[in-house]
Amino acid sequence: MISIKSEREIELMRQAGHINYLTHEELKKHIKPGIRTEQLDKIAHDFIMKHDAYPSCLGYEGFPKSICISINDEVVHGIPGKRKLKEHDVVSIDFTVRYKGYESDAARTYIVGSAPKEIEDLVTNTYLALQEGLSKVKSGAKIGDISCAIEKFARLHHLGVVKDLVGHGIGTNMHEEPDVPNFGIANTGITLKEGMTIAIEPMLTLGKEEVCLTDQDDWVIVTEDESPSAHFEHTVLVTKDGYEILTGE
Ligand code: MF3
Ligand code: CO
Ligand code: CO
């Protein structure tokens, strides 16, 4: 069952999304060579708690930290720890914020300092792939319209499209129906309706699409060919004529 949110629920999701946005803005100031990923985790944890919200990755199926930080060939679910950011690293930060029972989910990818042009382009084009997907969202459109737009854009730029992980519905749970894949065929899949809330999240690589777990821990997912990857995500509300980004400014 895909839930349609009431006006009251939408307002709570806006608030959850806004705290998520503010937390990303706070973290952005600290993305510098030398900072340990566990320091970023603490900054986010304290910031979210201070806003009377909860960093709902913490404890989710046993995830041990408040945010996911995935570096270079790590695609998603990197666990913050002693590792220090260094110049040229590609750093994806992804987390959920729960406020009064409602979830918000957003991810951004940064380059520490600068990087070779093809890596800068990977990050820019993953951001633009999310915009392509968003542009298809409106009541009456199909999930496949979003999927197809993201895949087309990624392929045009010769990027790998991670297929093992997908976007999703979101509400009182972090992950709800429907799945929102980053590949597919236009005009297929379920029809979007006003009041649905979904997380769209392209994960693209500079190489092949295959990903796997490592023997490091049960969480971090890396590219099989060790190519760098990028990830952008927004939680959005489907409206009559388009969409409202809930995790934006
Ligand atoms: N934020 C992730 C998503 O985009 C899920 C986080 S997994 C967790 O769906 F274990 F960290 F919670
Ligand atoms: Co996320
Ligand atoms: Co998500």
**Residue nearest ligand 1's atom 1 by CA:** 95
> What's the pLDDT tens digit per position in 96-114?
999 999 999 999 999 999 9
- 249: pLDDT strictly greater than 90: no
Residue 220 · residue 213 · CB < 8 Å: yes
Percent of the chain with pLDDT over 90: 98
**Cβ of 201 less than 6 Å from ligand 1:** yes
Lookup result for tokens 């992804």 = 94
Of 182, 201, 203, the C-alpha closest to 247 is: 201
d(CA 1, CA 34): 46
Of 126, 36, 33, the C-alpha closest to 75 is: 126
Domain ranges of the chain: 7-245
**Cβ of 176 less than 6 Å from ligand 1:** no
| DSSP element (H, E) containing 131 | helix 117-135
Q: What are the phi and psi torsion angles at 98 (to 5°)?
A: -105, 130
Gap from CA of 95 to ligand 2 centroid (Å)? 5
Residue 149 · residue 181 · CB < 8 Å: no
DSSP reduced 3-state for 191 = strand
**Cβ of 94 less than 6 Å from ligand 1:** yes
Q: DSSP letter string over 133-169?
A: HHHT-STT-BHHHHHHHHHHHHHHTT-EE--SS-EEE
Gap from CA of 231 to ligand 2 centroid (Å)? 9
The CATH number of 7-245 is: 3.90.230.10
- 77: pLDDT strictly greater than 90: yes
Of 131, 168, 173, the C-alpha closest to 149 is: 131
What mean pLDDT, rounded, does the chain reach?
A: 98
DSSP reduced 3-state for 20 = helix
Put simply, whether the predicted model's pTM sits higher than 0.95 gets the answer yes
Task: State the average pLDDT over residues 164-173.
Answer: 98
Q: What is the signed CA dihedral for 176, 18, 66, 76, rounded to 10 degrees?
A: 60
> What's the pLDDT tens digit per position in 100-157?
999 999 999 999 999 999 999 999 999 999 999 999 999 999 999 999 999 999 999 9
Ligand 1 atom, smallest distance to 56 CA:
12
Which burial class, exposed, middle or buried, applies to 192 when counting CB atoms under 10 A from its CB (0-12, 13-18, 19+)?
Answer: buried
**Cβ of 77 less than 6 Å from ligand 1:** yes
Looking at residue 104, what DSSP letter applies? E
